[in-house]
Amino acid sequence: MQMIRKSTETDFIRLAEISVFTKRVAYRPIFNDDRFSFNVLTVPGVMYILRMSLDAIWVWEDSGIVKGFVHIEGDEIKELYVDWFFQGEGIGSALLRFAVDRGCTFLWVLERNEHAIRFYEKNGFYKTGEMLAWNDTGQFIIKMSIDGESVGKDISTETD
């Protein structure tokens, strides 16, 4: 049975696995930093960070398997990750729609994460033109938003 539910303490290991693996696959080609990807970006470290956001994380569960999650703070989507093995099944689109239905109107994404940008654009988000330096990485994040008229409409579920 598929459902979106609030995360619990028992989800943290699985959420950290999804976060670490997905970030390594998506970000390693962008940052080219193996030390960070394999020594700093670890399941225990991510678990610590996720634990602080327990009330703001919602998970997609299917037959007892957590396959993805969305982290919502106010009207911002802080994170949205789907396990690599379950991408393309509409999970990311469902989580995105869930967040938008709860009032989320924007998110930040790495400028060079073209796969994520295409996904968000297919689901009604657009680049606002706002850009920020991402920590001290030499990379930038861009703001993407959804207009008020798109909120609540049926957004694409073709890919995630």
Cα-flanking dihedrals φ and ψ of residue 72, to 5°? -115, 130
- pLDDT tens digits along 70-101: 999 999 999 999 999 999 999 999 999 999 99
What gap in Å lies between CA 15 and CA 53, rounded to an integer?
12
Instruction: State residue 148's pLDDT score.
Output: 54
**CATH superfamily, domain at 2-104:** Gcn5-related N-acetyltransferase (GNAT) (3.40.630.30)
Which one-letter DSSP state was computed for residue 38?
A: I
> Does pLDDT of 156 surpass 50?
no
Domain definitions of the chain by residue range: 2-104
Instruction: State residue 103's pLDDT score.
Output: 96
